[in-house]
Chains A and B, each alone.
Chain A
Amino acid sequence: GAGVSQSPSNKVTEKGKDVELRCDPISGHTALYWYRQSLGQGLEFLIYFQGNSAPDKSGLPSDRFSAERTGGSVSTLTIQRTQQEDSAVYLCASSDHRGLAGAEQYFGPGTRLTVT
């Protein structure tokens, strides 16, 4: 079946502009995660959704970052007034946690964001 998809695959934007990154999880997966991957920094947790609600948004770096999930499916990560330090690969993952806390996360290919 279809995996996790993300769009766009690459995004180049000018400093100060807003960007929206999209994630389509695997159908039926209740949990959705956003991570940021920077060189040498590993995977930085940003936010996690269970259904449409976000029980943990502790990883969002600043109030310029926000995310929403609608219909228990698609999620959008929005970065306002982008800065050069926002340049990174943004990864989305989904997981089916119904009754299984240790469920595997399935990752999308990522969106490479470059802020010039």
Chain B
Amino acid sequence: AQSVTQLDSQVPVFEEAPVELRCNYSSSVSVYLFWYVQYPNQGLQLLLKYLSGSTLVKGINGFEAEFNKSQTSFHLRKPSVHISDTAEYFCAVSRPTSGTYKYIFGTGTRLKVLA
């Protein structure tokens, strides 16, 4: 069975500092990987996704993530964060060959950007 682990429940970081939010998945088959963001009092929206091809994926708002098959990771990074990046970030996985479009989400990482 698939699972997604986001080890950090909260990450405080100062404005303009770099940040990395960690995501590890478990699956013995190929997967699709996603990062979603939920701003305070808003719905979730897609930041970026990896389906195939280049392992470095760029998303909205200056975020990027790198797919590492050997480490089964898909960590999210941003070189310089802003106050407006304060939000909850969710990693998700789906299996393209399973015949179903079910997505499994991690428990989320709350990013708090400090002035």
Contacts and interface: CB of A to CB of B under 8 A. Distances in A.
B103 A45 contact: yes
Interface stretch (A11-19, A72-80, A104-112): A104-112
Interface residues of B, number: 25
Given A31-B101, A42-B108, A55-B100, 15 more contacts: A35-B105, A42-B105, A43-B44, A43-B90, A43-B105, A45-B103, A45-B105, A93-B44, A97-B101, A101-B32, A101-B94, A101-B96, A102-B51, A104-B34, A105-B46
Contacts, number: 59
Interface residues of A, number: 26
Contacts of A95: 101
Contacts of B96: 101-102
Nearest to A105: B103
Contact of A42 (B42, B45, B106): B106
A68 interface: no
A50 interface: yes
B13 interface: no
Given A42-B107, A101-B94, A101-B96, A48 B46 contact: no
Nearest to A48: B102
B49 interface: yes
A42 B9 CA distance: 10
13 contacts: A41-B107, A42-B105, A42-B108, A43-B92, A48-B100, A48-B101, A101-B32, A101-B94, A102-B32, A102-B94, A104-B34, A105-B46, A107-B44
